[in-house]
Chains A and B, each alone.
Chain A
Amino acid sequence: MCGIAGLIHRGKSADIGSQMTSMLQALKHRGPDSTGYALYGDKGNDDYVMRFKVAEQEDLASGFDIHDTIKERKATVDARLKEMKVSIKGEEQVTEYAHRYTISFDGDLKRVIDFVEDVDGVEILSIGHALELIKDLGDASVVAGQYNLNGFKGTHAIGHTRMATESDVDIRSAHPYWAYPFNDVSVVHNGQLTNYWTNRRGLERRGHRFMSDCDSELIAVYIAHRIDQGDDLESAMKRSVDELDGVFTYLVATADSLGMAKDVMAAKPMVLYESDDLIALASEEVAIRSIFPNEIDTFDPYEGEVRVWQS
């Protein structure tokens, strides 16, 4: 089933960490397996924030050596960043296996990403000036507590509560997906894509890489590919409605915008609240109500509809 949610403040920052936690907690019944956030903070300077993991949560139970292995993997990542002349300006160990680095680099970022992800067990969850992507097992209150997300200031966010259906319960299959290798682009999805393998093979032939077998990752890579081909976000999303087959509703966020797309059958729900200051969307209205205690007017976008908002 899965639940998705998004919000975007127009022209101001707010505590999007707490707001998204409230929304996702209200959607817990749609997906209790894992919870993920793509939070867009205020862009300060040209530094990047890199979120990555060096193991899955379940790996911690795989034996006594895993703790040493995790340390070795992290040391290898540091060495490879140094080798690529990436300057680490700040680092934070969030869990034993998840890290947040502030880095500066002005070369080919894709080469750095590929080099780092070549380390066994390492996955970069996101790189961006504004984007910070966090996902882990458990509901929103667990993940928000674990990663100190309440109080996170920013302009917009998307989030996901996952009920695993076609792939494993692990972090690599959790949403959101970062649209590798494009900075600041992320996707959450509710639904099933029926032409997943056809599209995946086509994108792999064009040099794109997939980290999971989750069909939702395809949307992130597809959008990244279309942007690379010169489409703007809205055009890429409109094209996706024709080219991706199945039943789906998905949200995409970039450094300064938030978009939603719904398949032509309108088979997956989405409720939308729109005001001059704020747009909030969710699979169920109860999520929007969690941040608006008062009566508000909401509506369902129609089949095949694509909308994009700027922060």
Chain B
Amino acid sequence: MAELNTEHDSHALGMHTEQLAGRTQKVFFSPSADDNYVYHDSIEVDFNKSAEIDAGPMEIKDVNAKIRSLMKEGYGTITVKNPSAKHSLGVGILNRLNLNFEGSLGYFGCGLCDGPNIRISGRVGWSCAENMMAGTIVIEKNAGSTFGAAMRGGDLVCKGDVGSRTGIDQKGGTIIVGGNAGAFNGFMMQRGRIIILGNAGKNLGDSMYDGTIYVGGKIEDLGVDAVEGEITDVEEKWLENKLALYGMKAPNGVKNLTKIVAGKQLWNYDNLEPSEKKLVL
């Protein structure tokens, strides 16, 4: 098991300045410690060895089983044609893999993934990349609601618009939205970053414990305990580099993004257990 550190490399870079307290976890998953970690049944694949699957006539479970069997044969680059908005495609891949979907996915696509680099040429439905742990997922068109729900790590990129509740309960990683986002984004997020280059709907960052949201366009309104913060020089650099990775740019430069963080005035930041609370109330 990879080591869990109380200090992360990003602290040294000034990326974390927040003082965590109360019930918020004080440990960070270290990518450097994770370098040597592999799942016990992970597969050696060759990225130069490629295969195609025509998902059009296939059942969902058969498509997912075919991806696994190709990985076991050593294929490191797999292209799925005609996904036809089917649900739950590309889920639970705990391996390095280049996976391309030529078309759109339905609901719960690419959830529970840890490691693959996935590219989707179309759109994704609700709950794409739920509980994603590592790797990258890039969607060329729009995404539905609860995009990256409870995501723990990796980069999740939608170049179009997304629905509501993006990054709800997010615990790590980075979500990038090229267009506009609906309401309740970053609701109860605990760590990680959301970058919305367009407009953000109402209740942005409602009850967020930690983490950071950056918005390029207008914010309809902020949720409970979400407040504006100042972008540091390190963050500017990080934002520029991160967006450049995916050929994206902030509309008016990263300096003009609005940064939203947790105000930490809610009950869960007072360091008191419920039993202790009764003593002082």
Contact = CB atoms under 8 A, between A and B. Distances in A.
B74 to A, nearest CB: 30
B126 A289 contact: no
Contact of A303 (B86, B104, B144, B182): B182
Contacts of B117: none
B64 interface: no
B200 to A, nearest CB: 11
B153 to A, nearest CB: 25
B122 A295 contact: yes
Contacts of B164: 265-266, 302-303
Contact of B125 (A264, A265, A266, A284): A284
Interface residues of A, number: 17
Contacts of A138: none
A302 B183 contact: yes
A266 B182 contact: yes
Nearest to B103: A295
Contacts of B145: 266, 269, 300
Interface string B42-66: 0000000000000000000000000
B141 A297 contact: yes
A286 B182 contact: no
B201 interface: yes
Interface string B163-202: 1110000000000000000111000000000000000011
A297 B140 CA distance: 11
B144 A269 contact: yes
A286 B84 contact: yes
Contacts, number: 67
Contacts of B165: 266
Contacts of B104: 285, 289, 295, 298
Interface in A259-282: 264-266, 269, 271
Interface string B95-119: 0000000011011000000000000
Contact of A302 (B85, B107, B125, B182): B182
Nearest to B162: A300
Interface in A141-199: none
A265 B182 CA distance: 10
A285 B103 CA distance: 12
Given A269-B126, A298-B104, A300-B145, A289 B85 contact: yes
Q: Which of B84, B103, B122 is packed against the most chain A CB atoms within 10 Å?
A: B84
B218 to A, nearest CB: 14
B125 A271 contact: yes
Contacts of B141: 297
Nearest to B122: A295
A302 B199 CA distance: 12
Nearest to B84: A289
Contacts of B107: 269, 284
Contact of B142 (A266, A284, A289, A298): A298
Contacts of B210: none
A interface secondary structure, majority: loop
B123 A285 contact: yes
Contact of A300 (B85, B86, B142, B184): B142
Interface string A281-311: 0001110110000010111101100000000
B281 to A, nearest CB: 32
Contacts of B144: 269, 271, 300
Contact of B86 (A264, A265, A286): A286
A303 B200 CA distance: 12
A285 to B, nearest CB: 4
A298 B163 CA distance: 12
A60 B161 CA distance: 51
A299 B161 CA distance: 8
B159 interface: no
B152 interface: no
Contacts of B126: 269
B223 to A, nearest CB: 13
B59 to A, nearest CB: 12
Contacts of B264: none
Contacts of B142: 297-300
Contacts of B106: 284-286
A291 to B, nearest CB: 12
B163 A266 contact: yes
Q: Which of B87, B142, B145 is packed against the most chain A CB atoms within 10 Å?
A: B145
A288 B106 CA distance: 11
A200 B121 CA distance: 47
Nearest to A290: B84
Contacts of A303: 164, 182-183, 201-202
Interface of A: 264-266, 269, 271, 284-286, 288-289, 295, 297-300, 302-303
30 contacts: A265-B183, A266-B145, A266-B163, A266-B182, A269-B107, A284-B87, A285-B85, A285-B125, A286-B84, A286-B85, A286-B106, A289-B84, A295-B121, A297-B142, A298-B104, A298-B142, A299-B123, A299-B142, A299-B160, A299-B161, A300-B144, A300-B145, A300-B182, A302-B163, A302-B164, A302-B182, A302-B201, A303-B164, A303-B182, A303-B202
Given A266-B184, A300-B163, 13 more contacts: A264-B183, A266-B182, A269-B144, A269-B145, A271-B144, A285-B125, A286-B86, A288-B85, A289-B85, A295-B121, A298-B104, A298-B142, A299-B160
Give me the 6 closest cross-chain CB pairs, A-B, nearest first: A285-B85, A300-B163, A266-B164, A286-B85, A299-B142, A302-B182
